Chains A and B, each alone.
Chain A
Amino acid sequence: MAQTETAPLQRSGPASGSGQGSKPGTGSGAMPNVYASGRLGKSVPWIVLGASLLVSIAIFALVQVASGGGFNVAGAVVLTGVLNGVAIYLTALLVEGGRQAKDRLVTTLVSSAFIIALAPLVSLFITVLSRGTARFDVQLFTESMRNVVGEGGGALHAIVGTLIMTGIAALISVPIGLLTSIYLVEYGRGALARAITFFVDVMTGIPSIVAGLFAYALFAIFFGPGIRLGIAGAVALSVLMIPVVVRSSEEMLRLVPNELREAAFALGVPKWLTILKVVLPTSIAGITTGVMLAIARVIGETAPLLVAAGFTANMNYNPFDGRMQSLPVFVYSSYVSQGTDAQAYLDRAWAAALTLILIVMALNLIARLVARAFSPKLGR
C-alpha cells in the first residue's frame, strides 16, 4: 500500500522527461506536477490494444497456416480482448500501482461488455439492410400482393394495415392508459388503486397470442366464428399496449414535484385544472416518449394479428370489413409459404422487415423531437 502511494512521488524527479507520457501540466520546464506524474499516457491503452490485436492475428495466422483451415475471426477477436485485459492490467500495475491497474481492468471489462451487447444489434441491422435492399424499391410501396405469384408485388397493403391497426390501437390505448395513470397518481387511494396496479402488472405479462385470442373471441361473439377484422387486430394490440402506457406515464407523473401541485393549489386552482395545466405540461415530454415506446413495442407483434386480423394479399383500407395484412404477418407468411420463386418471397420478406425497422426508428426519432420541443426549458 505504501509503495503504491509513494511510487509516483519518487519517480517524479528524474522521470519527468523519460517518455512516461506524463507531460508537466502547466509550467513546462519548472517543477513537474507531482499529482500528474507516474501516469500512463493517453495513447498507451490504444497501443496496448493494437499490440494485442497484432499478436492474436499472428497467432491465428500461424494456426491457419498449420491446420490449413480458414482464418478464425471470432477467435482472434476474443483472444484480443483477453490479451488486452491482461496486458493493460500488468502495464498499469508496473507503472501506476494497484488502484489504477484495477481501474484500467474494469474500464476494459465494461467497454468489452458494451461491445458484446452492441454486436447483435449491429449484426442484425447490417443483415436486414444487406438483404432488404434487394426489393426495397418503389414497387414495394405502391403495390399489393393481389394476383402476384413469384416475382413482383409489394407490401403496400401490409404497410397500410400496420399503420391503420397500430394507429387505432394507439387511439384506444393512450386515453385509457393516460387517464388510468392520472387516477393512480393523483386520486387513487386504498384498495381500488392497489387492485388496478396489480391488474396492470398482470396485463403486462399477458402473452401476445392470448391477447390475439381474446380479441378474436370478443369479435366472434358478435360476428360469429371465423371473423377476422382490422379492428380486432387493433383491439388485440391495445390490450398489449395499455399496461405499457399506464406504467410509463405513471412513472412520469410521479416525477412531477409535489411543490408544483401545491403552488397551483395555493393560487386557488382546482385540482382538475392543476392536473391539466401544470402536471401534464410538466411531464408531457416523458409521457410522449413512453407512448412512442409502447407503439414501437406493439408494432412488431405478429401472433395476435395473425389470429385476430388474419392475412391477405389484398389492399384493405377499412378496418371494419375483412381481413387486414400487417408488416410482421407479411414477413411471416412470405417466409413460411414460399412460392414457386422462393427467392422473390424471401426478398420481399427482408424488404418488409427493413421497412418495419425504419418505421420504428422514425417513431423513436419523432418521440425524441417531440420530447425536446415540449420539455421544460432551463435556458438562461
Chain B
Amino acid sequence: MSKRIEVKDLNVYYSKFLAVEDVSLTIEPRSVTAFIGPSGCGKSTFIRTLNRMHEVIPGARVEGEVLVDGDNLYGPGVDPVLVRRNIGMVFQRPNPFPTMSIRENVLAGVTLNNRRMPKSTADDLVEKSLQGANLWKEVKDRLDKPGSSLSGGQQQRLCIARAIAVEPDVLLMDEPCSALDPISTLAIEDLIEELKNEYTIVIVTHNMQQASRVSDRTAFFNIAGTGKPGKLIEYDDTNTIFTQPSVQATEDYVSGRFG
C-alpha cells in the first residue's frame, strides 16, 4: 500500500520562471511529512509535482527525478493518469462534485473511470471510505443527498473519503484545513493520525502547531525574495525542526521571529 518517495535535484519551472530550485528529499512510507514555509515559497507547487498535478497549469514543467519505490514519475512514457491513480490528492478548498450525491462522490474515482462494480461491493466501499474519513456516522442516513449540502468540514472529509476510496499508495494534502474551523481541523488531524497506518502522507500547512502535532518529519521551504526561486532550507525530524533547527532561518520562522 504505502510507498517511499525519493526526490532528486528537482527544479520546477512556470514557462521560463524557476519556481522551485534543487529540491532533494526522501519521504518514508507510513509517515506524515509536513511542508512549511511562507506563502509563495513553492510548497504547493512542489507537492503538485509529486503526482504531476502541476501539468494542469499551462507552462509548468519539471527537471529532475521523483522516484516512488524506485519508479521515476518523470521517466519516458509515464502516463500521468496512472500516477494520479496511485498518488491521491486533497485540495485546499473542499471540492465535492456538485452534480453528485454523497455516495456518488465517494464512488467518483470508480465510476468516473467507467469501471463497474456490484452494488454490494460499492456499498462496502462507501462505508469503508466514509468510516476511514470519520464521516460515516454523520452522513449514513443521507447518502443520497447532494455532496454540497454538507458543511465545509464535512465536505473536506468527504473529499478525503473520495481520495482514499481509490486506495492510493500516497495521499497528498495541500493545506487541507485552511478553510476549516478548529473543530473540523481537529477531526481531520485525528484522521491523518489514523491514515498514517496505511498511507504515506504529505501535507502542506501554514499552521505550525498543526505541523508539530501531526507530522513525523518537517521540511522548511523559503524564498530569498520576490522573483527568486523557492528552496528547501531544512528537512529533518519534526522535533528537531521545532526545537533545535540547524539553520537560523528555520528557527526564525518556527519561532515567529520572521523578517
A103 within 8 A of B: no
Q: Please report whether the interface of chain A is mostly helix, strand, loop or mixed according to DSSP.
A: helix
Choose among A264, A267, A270, A282 the residue that contacts B98 (Cβ–Cβ < 8 A).
A282
- The verdict on A266 contacting B89 (CB below 8 Å), with A257-B95, A278-B97, A282-B99 known, is yes
A277 to B90, CA, bound (A): 20
- The complex places the Cα of A152 from the Cα of B34 at a distance, in Å, of 84
With the chains together, A281 CA to B97 CA distance in Å?
A: 10
Cβ–Cβ contact B84 & A263, under 8 A: no
Contact residue among A263, A274, A379 (Cβ-Cβ distance under 8 Å from B91): A263
With known contacts A260-B97, A263-B97, A265-B53, A378–B146 Cβ distance under 8 A: yes
Interface check B51, CB cutoff 8 A: yes
A262 touches B95 (CB 8 A): yes
Is the beta-carbon distance between A268 and B109 smaller than 8 angstroms? Answer: yes
Q: Cβ of B148 < 8 Å from any Cβ of A?
A: yes
Q: Which residues of B sit under 8 angstroms from A380, Cβ to Cβ?
A: 145, 149
A259-B93, A260-B95, A262-B53 as given contacts; A267 in contact with B108, CB under 8 Å: yes
Given A376-B148, A379-B149, A380-B149, decide whether A268 and B97 contact each other with a Cβ distance below 8 A.
Answer: no
CA distance A264 to B110 in the complex (A): 11
Q: How many A-B residue pairs have CB under 8 A?
A: 89
A376-B98, A376-B99, A379-B149 given; A265·B113 CB < 8 A: no
> A29: shortest Cβ distance to chain B, in Å?
43
Indicate which residue in A262, A277, A282 contacts B112 across the interface (CB closer than 8 Å).
Answer: A277
Q: How far is the CB of B38 from chain A (nearest CB, A)?
A: 24
**Given contacts A376-B146, A378-B146, A268 and B113 within 8 Å (CB-CB):** yes
A-B contact pairs, 22 of them (CB 8 A): A259-B91, A259-B95, A260-B97, A262-B53, A263-B159, A264-B97, A266-B163, A267-B84, A267-B108, A267-B109, A268-B83, A268-B85, A268-B109, A268-B166, A269-B81, A269-B108, A273-B112, A273-B114, A282-B98, A377-B146, A378-B148, A380-B145
Binding site for B on A (CB under 8 A): 189, 257-270, 273-274, 277-278, 281-282, 376-380
